[in-house]
Each structure stands twice: as C-alpha cells, then as structure tokens.
Amino acid sequence: MATYSTDVNAQATRFLKAKGSGVSKDKIADIIEFAKDADVMDFYKGKPDVPFWYMRLKKEGHDDAPHVGSIADTWVEDEDNIRRVAEHVQRPAKTADRSLVRAFGIYRFKERSDRWMWADPSTDDEPQTLVCIALEDLSPENGFFMDLKAGQDVCIDGKDKILVPPTGGGLAILIWVDI
C-alpha cells in the first residue's frame, strides 16, 4: 500500500501540465484584504456535517471580492488557458469566451479531522473544469493538494478525485468553466 506522501506526490505530478499563472499581485492583495474580515456564507455554515473541501466567503454589503469577476472573465478569454484545460481534461477546446464561466467566487479551504478523497468537484452533471487560482502560496500545509504559488492556477477535471489534506485556511479564487 502506498504512503500518503507517495500518493500526494503522484497526484501533484499528474497536475504539472495543468498549471498556469498570470494574476497580478495588486489584484491579489486587494482580494486578500477583502477576505481578512469576510465570513463564510450561510449555505456552508448551515451544513457543518457536509464534507466540503472549501467554503465560499462573503462580506456584508458586497456581491463579491474586488476583481474576482474580471479575473474569471480574463481567464476564460485567454486561448492558451482554454487549450491547457482541454488538453488536461481531454475534452474538446471551446471558443475562449466569458460565457464559459459557470460560477466563481473567493473560497477558503476547510480544515478537516483527516485526509480524504474529494470526488467530483462539479456543480452538476454537465462536464466542467474547476480552475483554482491561488491568492496566497497554497500547499498541503494550508488545505491544498499540491504546491501552487500566489497567482498561479491549476485546472481540475470536474469528474476527478483529489486526495485532500486535513489542513485548511488557504485562500483561492475558484472558477467553474464549461469545458
């Protein structure tokens, strides 16, 4: 039987070609400032026993953190990103366009009592890809399954299974893309 460390390393290797980057440090700083006193959405608070990997953050009087919508739009309008997603999830590429965005928001990874296998990050039964953009350096130390520097992103197939560490606290923008 493989060890946890071996499993995590093999998993991270699978995603190396799914990594990209390009979000400016200025935008990241504004979003982190927003998140400092943001609260977890009531939807997640009301389901303490549901094994969410992440929890969406909100702030009273705000629809979302600054720049998050424009980052989501810019990400899906970049043809290189769309090609990278399609190659990683092995589905046909689509025209790079903001209509590919299914959902987005700022999220904090949830601490758990033990590592677990997170299956199916989809929002529904349609094929889709979860794009995680790190707002700070992410790693198994703060709830993410691999190392990702602030501003980098990684594409995760909506039907994938991810071995998630028990730690939490890391911040990211999550975008569900119609690919």
Tokens read off for 2: 């493989």
Give the count of beta carbons closer than 10 Å to the beta carbon of residue 117: 10
pLDDT in tens, 111-136: 888 877 776 666 667 889 999 999 99
Q: Which residues of the chain have pLDDT under 50?
A: 1
Q: Cα–chain-centroid distance for residue 158?
A: 11
Q: In the prediction, which pLDDT does 83 show?
A: 96
Cα separation, 154 vs 63, in Å, equals 25
For residue 4, the model assigns a pLDDT of 63
Q: Report pLDDT for 122.
A: 60
Evaluate whether 165 touches 99 at the Cβ level (below 8 Å).
no
Task: Determine the structural domain holding residue 107 and report its residue range.
Answer: 4-177
Whole-number pLDDT of residue 1 = 44
We report the CATH number of the domain holding residue 127 as 2.60.120
Number of folded domains that form the chain? 1
Predicted confidence at residue 104, as pLDDT, reads 93
- 99 exposure class (CB count in 10 Å sphere: 0-12, 13-18, 19+): exposed
At residue 124, the pLDDT reads 67
Helix or strand holding residue 107 (H, E)? strand 101-109
